[in-house]
Structure 1
């Protein structure tokens, strides 16, 4: 089975980089930024991964780990409506013109009554998954599509941020009916790495935005559910849920007990009407240290032992005009690093997320610029630098940083100012 995520662990003595780089001119279209927080009506808990879309457009974003969101609305759309959805909750619509900034928005849990007949249509859960994969050319977007997306990648040692990288990218999304790979152009990017927190050890995620793009199970089933791999899993139905008041089947899956190769386990959420995958949350079985390490570690010093302790993935899809498309993905990888001869080990966490913030159907092939193209082998943190410009993103929508990352960015800005004064 193919694997798509590789880690480089190398000795490094790189210095701080200051300034920033942009690959396109700043966009000056007038817009209004609105911010809010999405919470559960009953528990008051923050709702992570809630979808926020401007109605009748392709402009959207997603809530962060604090339930916060920000979305930049072009002034021409100020009279539109915000549509807020979350798996397991009722949809909510709010007029943008009456929206109060920094307000708390409550979502009501959806009540689901699971009837026996709802799942007896299918022989078993595996049969439903196979039908979902088979139907990808009919229920998913089948046009050449140009997607604008925001990507963020963080590396932490223990609980402290050591590296931050962010980018706006263009995804050239191929139709789901063909086997051609998607392409990515880097539009704007910035980063900052504090190598002193890495103890001269640099951990790099090869692939950058491509790693998140490959979590699109429907477009890239070869990374998890090949025809050869499906029989290696156990599938079962879980309690159904709802999204936008539509019934959603939930499938649990895990590798069979007699399989030694590290495989995945998790949940698949499938729309009952269209049989489209709407969400997937899954993890790699990292019980076998040696085999799971081989799947991730591409390069490391000989005197270092490295193995994953957690590898979790999430992918969300959206629907418009009856067609589904990739919308968001999140990857969380945690590694333990043991140096020979050292008493204590180190724990590093790599987190990356990518959200589609706008998209359009392409009638013809886009004229791509060679200098903007990135490859699946690209290491983003080597391609960008700087957090010094507060207006860097212009009207591009981004994912609101979580509080800990926001704090780290502020420290990085202060360090940049010190560097500039030296």
Structure 2
């Protein structure tokens, strides 16, 4: 029970509601598209299902032989920035997505705009699986976690990551924060925690859509970092608690010609505490977790609310209706490493003096865009480290450095976000004219 409480305090108890009057900032530097492309080429496009033409969300687009990569957004769109010192004539881009056949496309075929990449579903029947493969799903999961020191990075690694927080009221975007973060990753077989250093951040919020409540996500990039369950398995499957779950083989698939088991897991019906349910994607040959997608089981909304809501106004009830997690790993040189993770939380806010509830969703996602071996082994000094109690919007810096953002691969903003930002900018310009 102690392990479960520790997990919720560190990972999921991250939402802060603050009552009060919110003042709109007097300047807007937020998310202006940079035109300085002297050092890199950029390519926009979308990744879709070949048969249905539906967008593939969180597909990975990477430059072969490098650490350069990005992720498609919730509309399947991507923006890939490639340094000009990479030879366009010989470079290749690899596009991959869980359950689909990956594509390798010459960089020479990419245009600055309008690249559409269609992927085919890849399905393998369980009957085709090697007869020597494990027959016990729980045993396979245990073996996978036991081999993390063998299959994942065992060196100190310095990663560059792009982090984003989005807050929506129903379907309307009201706040967007972005940051570039340095991730000091410790070996997977080490008990030392990873460290974070905030490099640059920026934020834009349309406070008029937030009623009189401002939602703030406490924990910032740590929300996504701790979803790396191969590094932090104790936050989900603490010692002994793995027996609180059932595991079963589901469909199987192939990713980059690797046979992948999909294992479903859920908490036992006799367990009353809110635990998790979802899918683990495990490489059959190497016993490696390549992805995990799972949700918090919310059976008692009051108990779930106590896990998340740190502070709220009098006369307001707040409870979560959905909490979802995802983590993806990538492979290079025979070793796997953390590549992407996301946390999505949806809440209902019930005002005593209002007829209808308000529905808010908060999404945090982080993608590794580059990494290198941490040769010195140094970690950031304590005063430079991001604290686990961080609220990113309060730490937003770097607005006065517009050229900085042009150099980094980012998660392409959804069109609705871009529309919201333009509206905010118009409001600010009007307020500035009126104040003169």
- TM-score tier (shorter): over 0.9
Output one character per residue of 1:266-306: Cα deviation in whole Å (capped at 9) or x when no partner. Answer: 10100111111111111111121111111111222342211
SS for the counterpart of 1:394 is: helix
Q: CA RMSD, aligned part only?
A: 2.3
SS for the counterpart of 1:15 is: coil
- Give the equivalent residue in structure 1 for 2:20: 12
SS for the counterpart of 2:141 is: helix
Q: Is the 1:88–1:241 contact (alpha carbons within 8 Å) kept by the matching residues of 2?
A: yes
- Give the equivalent residue in structure 2 for 1:55: 64
Q: Is the 1:174–1:181 contact (alpha carbons within 8 Å) kept by the matching residues of 2?
A: yes
- Give the equivalent residue in structure 2 for 1:223: 235
Q: Is the 1:387–1:409 contact (alpha carbons within 8 Å) kept by the matching residues of 2?
A: no
For residues 388 and 286 of structure 1, do their structure 2 counterparts lie closer, same or farther at Cα, with a shift above 3 Å needed? Answer: farther
1:115 counterpart = 2:127: yes
For residues 414 and 364 of structure 1, do their structure 2 counterparts lie closer, same or farther at Cα, with a shift above 3 Å needed? Answer: same
Output one character per residue of 1:104-148: Cα deviation in whole Å (capped at 9) or x when no partner. Answer: 111122241322654763251111111111111000011111111
SS for the counterpart of 1:376 is: coil
Question: Which residue, 318, 324, 333 being the options, matches 1:321?
Answer: 333
- Give the equivalent residue in structure 1 for 2:109: 98
TM-score normalised according to structure 1 size: 0.93
For residues 351 and 367 of structure 1, do their structure 2 counterparts lie closer, same or farther at Cα, with a shift above 3 Å needed? Answer: closer
- Give the equivalent residue in structure 2 for 1:180: 192
Following TM superposition, by how much is the alpha carbon of 1:340 offset from its aligned partner in structure 2, in angstroms?
Answer: 2.7
Question: Which residue, 241, 252, 256 being the options, matches 2:268?
Answer: 256
Where do 5+ consecutive residues of structure 1 fail to align?
A: none
1:79-90 residue pairs with structure 2 within 5 A? 79=88, 80-90=91-101
2:84 and 2:57 map into 1 onto residues whose CA distance is 27
Q: Is the 1:54–1:82 contact (alpha carbons within 8 Å) kept by the matching residues of 2?
A: yes
1:376 and 1:265 map into 2 onto residues whose CA distance is 26
2:359 and 2:30 map into 1 onto residues whose CA distance is 31
Q: Is the 2:30–2:399 contact (alpha carbons within 8 Å) kept by the matching residues of 1?
A: no
Question: Which residue, 350, 375, 386 being the options, matches 1:363?
Answer: 375
Q: Is the 1:110–1:245 contact (alpha carbons within 8 Å) kept by the matching residues of 2?
A: no
SS for the counterpart of 1:342 is: coil
TM-score normalised according to structure 2 size: 0.90
Question: Which residue, 141, 144, 159 being the options, matches 1:129?
Answer: 141
Output one character per residue of 1:296-338: Cα deviation in whole Å (capped at 9) or x when no partner. Answer: 1122234221110011111111000111111111111111111
Question: Which residue, 155, 160, 166 being the options, matches 2:178?
Answer: 166
2:208 and 2:419 map into 1 onto residues whose CA distance is 18
Question: Which residue, 29, 32, 45 being the options, matches 1:36?
Answer: 45
- Give the equivalent residue in structure 2 for 1:144: 156
Q: Is the 1:170–1:185 contact (alpha carbons within 8 Å) kept by the matching residues of 2?
A: yes
Following TM superposition, by how much is the alpha carbon of 1:409 offset from its aligned partner in structure 2, in angstroms?
Answer: 2.0
Following TM superposition, by how much is the alpha carbon of 1:418 offset from its aligned partner in structure 2, in angstroms?
Answer: 3.4
Q: Aligned pair count?
A: 419
SS for the counterpart of 1:393 is: helix
Output one character per residue of 1:40-97: Cα deviation in whole Å (capped at 9) or x when no partner. Answer: 2222211111111111111101111111111111111133111111111112111212
For residues 333 and 262 of structure 1, do their structure 2 counterparts lie closer, same or farther at Cα, with a shift above 3 Å needed? Answer: same
